[in-house]
Structure 1
Amino acid sequence: MKNITHIMVLLLLVLTGCKEEKKQEIQAPEPELTVLEKVANAHGFDNWANVNELKFTFNVDRDTNHFERVWNWKPKTNDVTAKSLETEISYNRKALDSITSKTDAAFINDKFWLLLPFQLIWDQNNFKYEHSAQSQAPISKKAMQKLTIVYGAEGGYTPGDAYDIYFGDDHIIQEWVFRKANSTEPSMTTTWEDYTTINGMKFAKSHKKEGENFNLHFTAIEVK
């Protein structure tokens, strides 16, 4: 009787081992993240799914001149409210007309400055990209990784534009170059600095030009 019991225990262990081995064989390896995903995730992209409302003020200070626009965006419904010193307008991005399209173009511009790391995921079917493991950043002259994205020649408000994005091994953006219509010369070069973390997402609040009294910056960022 003892021998039979012993044999049954051994058989059970063998069968259990076979099942575990089959489970291990079935499990596929985790896919390698793209550089787009690495940059987006470093800035907290995984937390965006929880966002119901985003408020922010887009500011530009150039010498003694100041300009600002206030935005309230509900991404799940695509409702947008824009406020400036002169006007306030509310619209839905799924139902644009000749008037709201002009406001929406400004919204896309301002949102792009704030949410570029996330746009890399949202827009990835609309641009081509190249990644360099080491390149010299244009302002700091430091060695960084470089990601170049070039939007398609059709669609969007500014088709064909290109961006050179510089970041360290932590994949946090530190500088970028905007090249209108994929020109060889930079149209604008700024820093990405003064980061703040809200609900697990990193936002660069300040973008400055080298040698100029210029600061494109964000205030009153609220995430719900």
Structure 2
Amino acid sequence: MKNILLLAAFSICFYACNDGKKDSLETPSDKIKAVDSTLTTAQWIANANGYEKWKDISEIKFTFNVDRGEKHYERSWMWKPIAGEVMMVNENDTVNYNRNKVMDSIIVKSDGAFINDKYWLLAPFQIAWDEGTSFSEKKDVTAPISGEKMNQLTVVYGNEGGYTPGDAYDFFYDENYMIKEWIYREGNSEKPSMATTWEDYKNFNGIEIATMHKDSTGAFKLYFTNISVK
């Protein structure tokens, strides 16, 4: 997966203004976006999740949990984004390193896990941060798990750079630009590799985080605990 185990700009819906009435087909998300048409959909999604607060964040801690049936796995992270410091703790090891410095093979393995877990945690920000991506969009598509109608933003990562280049993600978001479901497609294949929900959003110092992700069966759960944002 691209930086995860396992923006083309959005067309604005114009409306006639000669009589001061808005097009009845305009959606709430169109109304929000019309405030500033210079932003991409990825940026709107980031902003909806509190991106303007990110500049004030000095430290974030979280535990990444995966349940598959009766099996449980977890690892905990402390990240200081400005300083580049990272600490990982799992049942076997504690690893400390700085992402701004040269990493050996052991640290690279840990950093790959960090990039994966951080992507699940902060994907709404990652799609605005990441370079070497291409975007496409659709409106009123059927979400893979709920079957509800949503808007879709697809991001495809370039074939170079990152830990697993070339992967694609389909983000399904609501009228408020909040992600509700997504599909991961390894190597940009047409067939989905995984689809999960985005739910149980909680606010941490202005940052909105989906703390629970489930597949269609509920047998797979990926979730976050012990979240702290300073």
TM-score bracket, shorter-length normalisation: 0.7 to 0.9
Instruction: Kindly provide the amino acid, as one letter, of the partner of residue 138 in structure 1.
Output: P
1:44 maps to 2:76: no
Tell me what 1:58 maps to. Answer: 64
Q: Structure 1 CA distance, aligned partners of 2:229 and 2:175?
A: 27
Q: CA deviation at 1:82?
A: 0.3
More displaced stretch, 130-139 vs 150-159 = 130-139
Q: Equivalent residue of 1:150, what SS?
A: strand
- TM, length-normalised to structure 1: 0.85
Give the greater-gyration-radius structure (CA).
1
1:186 maps to 2:153: no
Q: Structure 1 CA distance, aligned partners of 2:52 and 2:210?
A: 17
Tell me what 1:165 maps to. Answer: 171
Tell me what 2:82 maps to. Answer: 76
Q: Closer, same or farther in 2 for the Cα pair 1:213/1:31, shift >3 Å?
A: closer
Q: Structure 1 CA distance, aligned partners of 2:166 and 2:123?
A: 16
Give CA-to-partner distance per residue, 1:170-193, whole Å, 9 cap, x none: 000000000011011000000000
Q: Structure 2 CA distance, aligned partners of 1:30 and 1:145?
A: 19
Tell me what 1:103 maps to. Answer: 110
Q: Closer, same or farther in 2 for the Cα pair 1:60/1:200, shift >3 Å?
A: same
Which of 205, 211, 217 is 1:199 aligned to? Answer: 205
Give CA-to-partner distance per residue, 1:43-86, whole Å, 9 cap, x none: 00000000000000000011100000100000001100000011
Q: Structure 2 CA distance, aligned partners of 1:203 and 1:65?
A: 24
- TM, length-normalised to structure 2: 0.83
Q: CA deviation at 1:32?
A: 2.6
Tell me what 1:17 maps to. Answer: none
The structure with the greater share of residues assigned to helix is 1
- Which stretches of structure 1, 4 residues or longer, exceed 4 Å deviation after superposition? none
User: Where does the alignment leave 5 or more consecutive residues of structure 2 unmatched?
Assistant: 1-34
> Following superposition of structure 1 onto structure 2, how do residues 2-151 of structure 1 map, counting pairs within 5 Å?
32-95=38-101, 96-123=103-130, 125-151=131-157
Q: Equivalent residue of 2:115, what SS?
A: helix
Identity of aligned residues (%): 48
Q: Equivalent residue of 1:107, what SS?
A: helix
1:208 maps to 2:214: yes
Q: Structure 1 CA distance, aligned partners of 2:124 and 2:169?
A: 12
Q: Equivalent residue of 2:146, what SS?
A: coil
Q: Equivalent residue of 2:136, what SS?
A: strand
Give CA-to-partner distance per residue, 1:110-162, whole Å, 9 cap, x none: 00000000001110x22100111221101111110000000000110010010
Q: Tell me how large the CA RMSD over aligned residues is.
A: 1.1
Instruction: Kindly provide the amino acid, as one letter, of the partner of residue 45 in structure 2.
Output: V
Q: CA deviation at 1:30?
A: 5.4
Aligned residues: 195
Q: Structure 2 CA distance, aligned partners of 1:211 and 1:67?
A: 19
Q: Structure 1 CA distance, aligned partners of 2:209 and 2:218?
A: 23
Which of 193, 215, 229 is 1:223 aligned to? Answer: 229
Q: Closer, same or farther in 2 for the Cα pair 1:147/1:56, shift >3 Å?
A: same
Tell me what 1:10 maps to. Answer: none
Q: Equivalent residue of 2:45, what SS?
A: helix
Q: Closer, same or farther in 2 for the Cα pair 1:30/1:135, shift >3 Å?
A: closer
